[in-house]
């Protein structure tokens, strides 16, 4: 094996190791958290309540915090909520949400925020509980639905989140978290993020997202993030970013990502800034009918420029991609636009077969160094260069991307209620979910 081949192999191995650094999820069993059931119906709540928020807060304060090994329980049924709750602290506890909570106020913030929890599980035992945000009534002017804040050893699963006025699920810092078996339905417009995650050692898997913004997106600072078996179903698509000054992201693995329609198969987005993104592997991507395909854009015009010369991207590998964009001349299936002040390097495309539904396409590169696409430059000296645009032919390895039962043909209207879905049992063509639905256990 030649030196260049050996080096490429070592880089790929390094990228492939970019995933979890240890175990994730609660450290004790769910059954061990059922010694005390803190039922909201015993703390002032009622099925059909006009505001279940105070009962949730009371059950947490007067029961969960006083009994380690307890479960805060919202039984099946419909509830309105006007008072948002921040549940701070607690060790070895669970939040069982079997009912459907509907937003009934326009206050900003987070409908349910979990802060500083340890050994915690937020779930629906019937795989039908969740939150209906009715975002069409206060678009981009109301609360986010769920926010996990600086918590450790936790999981969120088997929940349905619908039409948030803002973002649906935010993972803010913390460590050792797991999110899985989720269905998220947002409207066909920006500001409707599905899952935003940053922190250390988090695993996001088996999630379906419909919206027109972030599907599952990693933000800074982050390390050891694993995202897999994601179904971006008429979604804006997954991304890393937006990135600006002081970015610190490393050891990230996205694999088995399926995107049906939307903005992009994947995007790394920034506008100048500083810091780094390194040691990232994007493996086994299928996409169809997206606007952009594989898209690095470090001059993203929708973002205010940072003060630095650019976020440094390095040791980033794209492996085993099959997909198409709507118009490959108007928007390239592969675009690597890196910062002139911080050229990206060790960008490797391996078995990446991206094409266009029009059977015509170009690729674009700027200040990008690596291999696997005709417009990229090689070499150990990384200096800036102007945009290179090249016409390409259909890749020999390209095949018409497969579909999934349940693929949507369009997104959801912004001015009408979005129906509550069921959680699917597969999120990537040909692969089952990693963990069964809670209702099937």
* Catalytic site includes residue 119: no
Q: Which two tokens stand for residue 351?
A: 């078995």
d(C-alpha 43, C-alpha 58), whole Å: 6
Tell me which residue of 136, 157, 132 sits closest to 145, measured CA to CA.
132
Token pair 């958290």 in the structure block, residue: 33
Selection from 279, 284, 290, 224 nearest residue 256 by Cα: 284
Selecting among 98, 213, 251, 346, the annotated active-site residue is 213
> For residues 87 and 112, is the Cβ–Cβ distance under 8 A?
yes
Residue 201 CA to residue 197 CA, distance in Å, equals 11
- 3-state DSSP assignment of residue 135: helix
Backbone angles phi, psi at 34, to 5 degrees: -120, 20
Q: Please provide the DSSP assignment of 11-44 as one string.
A: HHHHHHT-S-SS--S-SS-SGGG-SEEEEGGGTT
| Omega cis (within 30) before 420 | no
Active site residues: 213
């Amino acid at each position: 094996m030649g030196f260049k081949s050996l080096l490429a192999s070592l880089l790929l191995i390094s990228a492939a190791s970019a995933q979890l650094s240890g175990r994730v999820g609660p450290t004790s069993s769910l059954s061990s958290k059922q010694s005390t059931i803190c039922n909201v119906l015993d703390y002032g709540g009622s099925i059909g309540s006009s505001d279940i928020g105070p009962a949730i807060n009371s059950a947490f304060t007067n029961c969960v915090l006083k009994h380690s090994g307890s479960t805060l329980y919202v039984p099946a049924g419909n509830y309105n909520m006007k008072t948002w709750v921040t549940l701070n602290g607690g060790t070895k506890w669970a939040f069982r949400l079997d009912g459907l909570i509907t937003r009934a106020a326009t206050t900003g913030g987070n409908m349910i925020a979990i802060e500083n929890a340890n050994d915690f599980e937020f779930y629906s035992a019937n795989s039908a509980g969740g939150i209906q945000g009715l975002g069409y009534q206060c678009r981009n002017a109301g609360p986010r639905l769920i926010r996990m804040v600086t918590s450790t050893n936790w999981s969120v699963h088997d929940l349905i989140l619908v039409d948030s006025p803002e973002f649906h699920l935010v993972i803010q810092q913390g460590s050792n978290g797991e999110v899985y078996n989720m269905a998220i339905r947002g409207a066909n417009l920006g500001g409707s993020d599905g899952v935003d995650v940053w922190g250390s050692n988090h695993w996001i898997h088996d999630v379906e997202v419909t919206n027109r913004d972030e599907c599952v997106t990693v933000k800074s600072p982050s390390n050891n993030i694993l995202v897999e078996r994601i179904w971006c179903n008429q979604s804006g698509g997954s991304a890393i970013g937006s990135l600006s000054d002081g970015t610190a992201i490393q050891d990230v693995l996205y694999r088995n990502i399926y995107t049906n329609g939307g903005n992009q198969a994947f995007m790394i987005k920034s506008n100048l800034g500083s810091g780094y993104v390194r040691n990232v592997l994007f493996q086994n991507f299928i996409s169809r009918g997206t606007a952009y395909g594989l898209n690095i854009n470090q001059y993203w015009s929708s973002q205010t420029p940072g003060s630095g010369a650019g976020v440094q991207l390095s040791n980033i590998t794209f492996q085993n991609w099959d997909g198409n964009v709507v118009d490959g001349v108007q928007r390239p299936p592969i675009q690597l636009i890196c910062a002139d002040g911080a050229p990206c390097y060790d960008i490797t495309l391996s078995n990446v077969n991206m094409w266009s539904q029009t059977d015509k396409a170009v690729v674009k590169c700027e200040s990008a160094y690596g291999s696997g696409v005709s417009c990229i430059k090689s070499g150990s000296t990384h200096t800036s260069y102007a945009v290179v645009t090249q016409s390409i032919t259909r890749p020999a390895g390209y095949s018409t991307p497969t579909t999934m039962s349940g693929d949507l043909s369009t997104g959801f209207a912004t001015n009408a209620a979005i129906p509550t879905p069921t959680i699917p049992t597969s999120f990537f063509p040909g692969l089952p979910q990693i963990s069964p639905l809670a209702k099937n256990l």
